[in-house]
């Protein structure tokens, strides 16, 4: 069931609630934007009140956050408006605090909000994936044509996070004043957006103002698009983003996914037929041999470094050793044997 | 839908389960309100659709980036008979 379609929603229309989950200190208030009813994954606008302080620790869920207003102290680093964090599950953040209070967009991707006090990372944490950046000051705007067909000029992005396996993305995007794009779009992925500032318009949903938000499941029509005075927003997709443009406002998600499949058939007919034949259309996908193939490992103490000097090489077969030019014997798979003197 | 990233197994305390149930119930109410507002917007949206058709037949349809193609009147879609104008789909392709 995952997250339902929440669009449009504006967090300015609701009040904050006190966070009562264990692990979070008092002074944290939130507005729920969307929630996965199966996993508890969610996106929230969070107000940390002045004087808020949370002990070092990690979440069981992967988490992303961006400072909307105010200053957030993360360890010895002062993070201001636009500072973005990608925090893998189990990654222990230092103490966070705020002297004057701050507003933060917080997204838990794989589970419910949680905070386990700890100064050490969980053993399973993929610590190398952690990164943070002042997205307003330290990243340039780039053209929005990260996929083709592309959005119209005037929609610019700053890529904040990219998953090379699923192609999921987190990015800032802006629309310049007077922006418009006359097509209807849908994607093969879910899409989420939070308006940090400004207003945009979509033909299905009307105006989305500052604090406006949507979580949109795959294959739902949106657009045409416009922004009279411009806007800046944080956007996310949960897998590869592809723009399926069209101009039929009455198509349904089922008709849209059928169109996507039809386009896949036209583009990759062999792959399409293979996926639909025999037992290949398993819902969790076929096996990727790169995930499951047997690998050499450490070869029980042998040198695994590839050599190119023509004299020494590493071994991964049933092997024997000899010096170059020395007498030795080979036994082949067909049982024949020969020797070199 | 999933981000296909790491989730670390752990137990949920009873108060966490209760919190989730309450949030899910509130989200259900939020969804109903959005769905109602979007149904109420349907007459205005009909005008927006017509304006969209006017623009893509005169100025052009954005095919890719700023590349535009004028759509002929004959190629404009016809609303299927009996189909309501619906823009909110609770579970996407798995909606009712």
Please say whether the beta carbons of A102 and A69 come within 8 A.
yes
The answer to whether A239 and A203 are in contact (CB under 8 A) is: no
User: What residue spans define the domains of chain B?
Assistant: 15-76
Residues of chain B neighbouring A181 (CB-CB closer than 8 A):
62
Task: Collapse the DSSP code of A300 into the 3-class scheme (helix H, G, I; strand E, B; otherwise coil) and give the result.
Answer: helix
In this predicted structure, what is the pLDDT of residue A324? 53
How far is the alpha carbon of A182 from chain B, nearest alpha carbon, in Å?
5
Cα–Cα distance, A138 to A84 (Å, whole number): 11
Contacts of A252 in chain B (CB under 8 A): 86, 89
Give pLDDT < 70 ranges for chain A: 1, 278-283, 298-341
CA distance A290 to B81: 50
B40's tokens:
């109420």
Looking at residue A341, what is its pLDDT? Answer: 52
The reply to whether residue B55 touches residue A2, judged by beta carbons under 8 angstroms, is no
Test B19 with A21 for CB contact under 8 angstroms: yes
Rounded CA-CA distance B53/B61 in Å is 9
Q: What is the rounded distance in angstroms from the CA atom of residue B78 to the CA atom of residue A69?
A: 47
A5 to B31: CB separation less than 8 angstroms, yes or no: yes
Burial bucket for residue A116 (CB in 10 Å: 0-12, 13-18, 19+): middle
CB–CB of A62 and B95 under 8 A? no
Q: And the tokens for A337?
A: 């044997």
Three-class DSSP labels, A270-319? HHHHHHHCCCCCCCCCCCCHHHHCCCCCCHHHCCCCCCCCCCCCCCCCCC
Residue of A149, A183, A253 lying closest to B92 (CB–CB): A253
Alpha-carbon distance of A45 to A63, in angstroms, equals: 13
d(CA A231, CA A200): 6
Which residues make beta-bridge pairs with A17?
A: A30
User: Which domains occur in chain A, in start order?
Assistant: 12-134 (2.60.120.10), 142-267 (2.60.120.10)
Residue A333's pLDDT is what?
46
Could you give the 3-state DSSP secondary structure of residue B53?
Answer: helix
**Which tokens is A91 given?**
């990654």
Q: Using CA atoms, how far apart are residues A303 and A12, in angstroms rounded to an integer? A: 62
> CB-based contacts of B49: which residues, under 8 Å, 6+ apart?
A203, A249
Query: CB–CB of B27 and A32 under 8 A?
Result: yes
Candidates A334, A340, A290, A306; CA nearest to A320 is A340
Distance CA A100, CA A93 (A): 20
Flag residues of chain B having pLDDT under 50.
Answer: 1-2
CB A99 within 8 A of CB A51: yes
Asked whether A55 and A25 are in contact (CB, 8 A), the reply is yes
């Amino acid at each position: 069931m995952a997250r339902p379609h929440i669009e449009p929603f504006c967090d300015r229309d609701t009040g904050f609630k006190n966070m009562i989950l264990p692990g979070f200190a008092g002074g944290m208030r939130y507005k729920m934007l969307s929630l996965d009813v199966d996993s508890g994954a969610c996106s929230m606008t969070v107000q940390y009140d002045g004087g808020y302080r949370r002990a070092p620790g990690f979440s069981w869920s992967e988490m992303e956050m961006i400072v909307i207003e105010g200053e957030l102290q993360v360890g010895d680093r002062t993070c201001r408006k636009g500072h973005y964090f990608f925090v893998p599950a189990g990654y222990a953040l230092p103490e966070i605090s705020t002297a004057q209070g701050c507003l933060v967009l917080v997204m838990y991707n794989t589970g419910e909000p949680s905070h386990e006090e700890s100064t050490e990372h969980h053993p399973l944490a993929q610590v190398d994936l952690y990164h943070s950046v002042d997205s307003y000051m330290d990243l340039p705007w780039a053209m929005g044509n990260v996929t083709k067909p592309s959005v119209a000029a005037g929609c610019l992005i700053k890529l904040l996070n990219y998953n090379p396996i699923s192609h999921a993305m987190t990015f800032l995007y802006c629309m310049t004043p007077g922006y418009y794009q006359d097509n209807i779009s849908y994607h093969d992925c879910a899409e989420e957006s939070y308006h940090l500032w400004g207003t945009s318009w979509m033909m299905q949903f009307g105006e989305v103002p500052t604090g406006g938000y949507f979580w949109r499941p795959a294959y739902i029509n949106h657009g045409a698009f416009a922004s009279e005075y411009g806007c800046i927003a944080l956007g996310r997709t949960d897998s590869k983003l592809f723009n399926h443009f069209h101009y039929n406002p009455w198509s349904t998600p089922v008709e849209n996914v059928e169109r996507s499949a039809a386009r896949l058939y036209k583009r990759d007919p062999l792959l399409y037929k293979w996926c639909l034949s025999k037992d290949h259309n398993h819902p969790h996908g076929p096996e990727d041999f790169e995930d499951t193939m047997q690998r050499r490992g450490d070869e029980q103490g042998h040198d695994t470094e590839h050599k190119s000097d023509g004299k020494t090489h590493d071994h991964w077969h049933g092997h024997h050793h000899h010096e170059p030019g020395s007498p030795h014997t080979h036994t082949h798979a067909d049982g024949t044997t020969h020797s070199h003197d | 839908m999933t981000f296909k990233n790491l989730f670390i197994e752990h137990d949920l305390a009873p108060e966490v389960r209760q919190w989730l149930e309450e949030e899910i119930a509130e989200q259900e109410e939020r969804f109903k309100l959005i769905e109602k507002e979007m149904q109420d917007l349907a007459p205005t949206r009909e005008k927006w659709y017509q304006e969209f058709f006017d623009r893509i037949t005169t100025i052009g349809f954005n095919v890719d980036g700023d590349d535009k193609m004028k759509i002929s009147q004959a190629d404009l879609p016809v609303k299927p008979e009996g189909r309501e104008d619906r823009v909110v789909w609770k579970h996407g392709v798995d909606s009712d």
